[in-house]
Every structure is written in C-alpha cells, then in structure tokens.
Structure 1
Amino acid sequence: MRVRATALLVRQHAVLLVKERGGPWFLPGGDLRPGELAMAAAIRELHEETCVEASAAAFLWQHVSAHHMHQVFRVAIPADARPRANVRAGIDDVRWVELSQLARMSVTPGTRAILERAAGVTGTVSRPDWRGGAGASPGF
C-alpha cells in the first residue's frame, strides 16, 4: 500500500478536484518522494498539478483506501489564486465542485470517502470554521 499526500481545499462550499485525461476526478496529491514529509508532498503536488502555491496547511486525518494510505491535509490558497490544469504533470482539468455535484461525477473511491468524511452529518464539505475567500479557517 502506497502512502499518498492528499490536499483538501474548500472554497465557498466547493472542493478543488483534478482529473487526468480519461480518468476519474480526485483530490490533488500524490506519492511522497524518499525522505519527504507528507505535508511537504501535499503542498508540492498541489503546485505541480494546479500551478498554485499553498498559503497554509494542516493535517486532518489518515484514510486507508484500496490502494493508498492517504495523509489528508486541509490546505488554503490565496483568495486571488486561480488553479489551472498543468498538462505537463498529466492533469487535464481542474474544477471547484460542490458536494451536490459529486453524485453525477466519476470520482475515485478514496476521494469520495474522504469528502463524505469531510462533509460529516451536515451534508456539506464546508464547515463554519472553514469559511472565507480561500477557504482558510480562523487561525490558519
């Protein structure tokens, strides 16, 4: 089982997802390099896939899926940041997606499970302490 650093970005009740050509949507992230810390990998992968720099990151939880042990990080980006697909990194599309849209989208099982946990019982991925232009929580 591979360790995957996974970035969860929330902005105005939507989450940032990425997609490789012909594949399902998933949360930004990827494998750790030798000796790399998971948080550093999440920030690096976010930049490689979406061309944006993180302004803050915090560990949320670990999630085990069929193929990965996800180290999930809540990541904030500047309010004026505009994520875009980095085709050189194999990313074909980047999109802010509302939770209500997920049922109609092809999403990896790991991403779906992480988003369901993030939504909790409220049915929304955004929680009161996660609001803000860049989705940063107070004190983030």
Structure 2
Amino acid sequence: MKDRATVLCVRNDRILLVARDRSRWALPGGRVRRDEAPHEAASRELEEETTLVADELMYLFQFNGFNTQHHVFFAEVGPHLAAQPSNEIARCKWFAPVKIATLSASVPTRGIVELFFRHIGMLEPDDVRLISQQVDRVTP
C-alpha cells in the first residue's frame, strides 16, 4: 500500500481542492518520500501544489483508499494568502463541502471530506447524506 500525505485546508467553511489538467478535483497532497515523515510530505506538497505555506499542520486521521493509505492533516493558512496552482496542478479552488458531492472529485477526497465534517459536526444531516450517496455510487 502506498503512503500519501493529504491536506485538508479549510477557510470560511470552504475546502481547498486542486486538479491537474483534465483530471478530477482532489485534496492537495502526494506521495510520502523515503526518509520523509508524513507531516513533512503534507507541508511540502501543499506548498508545491498551491504555493500556500501552512501556519500549522494538525494530524487528523488515516484514510485507506484502494491502494493508498492517506495520512490526513488539517492545515491553517492565513486569510490573506491566495492559493495559486503550481507544478503539475492546473487549478486551485475553494468549495463549500456540499458542493464537493456534485463535482468530479476523487473517491478518497469525498470520503475524507465526509469524515472530517461529520466528526466536527459542521454539516447538517442532509449534507452528510448527500456526500455519502455520491461516495456510495462510485465505491465498488
């Protein structure tokens, strides 16, 4: 199983997603390199993909995808900083959590967002149900 550092950036109740050219939306993140701690990979990937530097990273949980174990971190970034696509990333955008259910987004992204907002109680029951239905439709 591959290890991936995944970053959940939330600002004003919106989540930062990134996308490569002709690709699904996803949470920022990437492979954990050999001799690199997951939190180091999360910080590096966030900056490489969005130019954002996290003030603080907080470890949230692990999420197991099909072949990937996501080490999920919460990132706080200053309210005045703008996310800019960088490296292989073509687009960065902030989305309301319920909007993610209607996007072409990766299955792990939908699952991680659902777990996070269910845990902190930010989504209404109908919002969680909508996201869950979208995840269930694409999960084998």
Q: Return the TM-score normalized by structure 2.
A: 0.84
**CA-atom RMSD, angstroms?**
1.1
Which structure 2 residues correspond to residues 56-135 of structure 1 after superposition, within 5 A? 56-86=56-86, 89-120=87-118, 122-123=122-123
Higher relative contact order (CA 8 A, sep 6+): 1
Matches of 2:35 and 2:47, distance apart in 1: 19
Per the TM alignment, residue 62 of structure 1 is displaced from its structure 2 partner at its CA by: 0.4
Q: Secondary structure of the residue that 1:42 maps to in structure 2? A: helix
Corresponding residue for 2:18?
A: 18
Q: Aligned letter for 2:31?
A: D
Matches of 2:109 and 2:71, distance apart in 1: 12
Q: Aligned letter for 2:89?
A: I
Q: Aligned letter for 1:106?
A: S
Q: Aligned letter for 2:88?
A: G
Per the TM alignment, residue 122 of structure 1 is displaced from its structure 2 partner at its CA by: 4.3
| Corresponding residue pairs, total | 122
More helix by share: 2
Per the TM alignment, residue 52 of structure 1 is displaced from its structure 2 partner at its CA by: 1.2
Contact 2:11 2:79 in 1 (8 A): no
**Residue segments in structure 2 that go unaligned for 5+ positions in a row:** 125-140
Q: Aligned letter for 1:74?
A: F
Per the TM alignment, residue 103 of structure 1 is displaced from its structure 2 partner at its CA by: 2.1
Percent identical pairs in the alignment equals 32
Matches of 1:31 and 1:57, distance apart in 2: 17
Per the TM alignment, residue 32 of structure 1 is displaced from its structure 2 partner at its CA by: 1.0
Per the TM alignment, residue 42 of structure 1 is displaced from its structure 2 partner at its CA by: 0.2
Matches of 2:62 and 2:30, distance apart in 1: 14
Q: Aligned letter for 1:34?
A: R
Which structure 2 residues correspond to residues 12-51 of structure 1 after superposition, within 5 A? 12-51=12-51
Runs of 4+ deviating beyond 6 Å: none
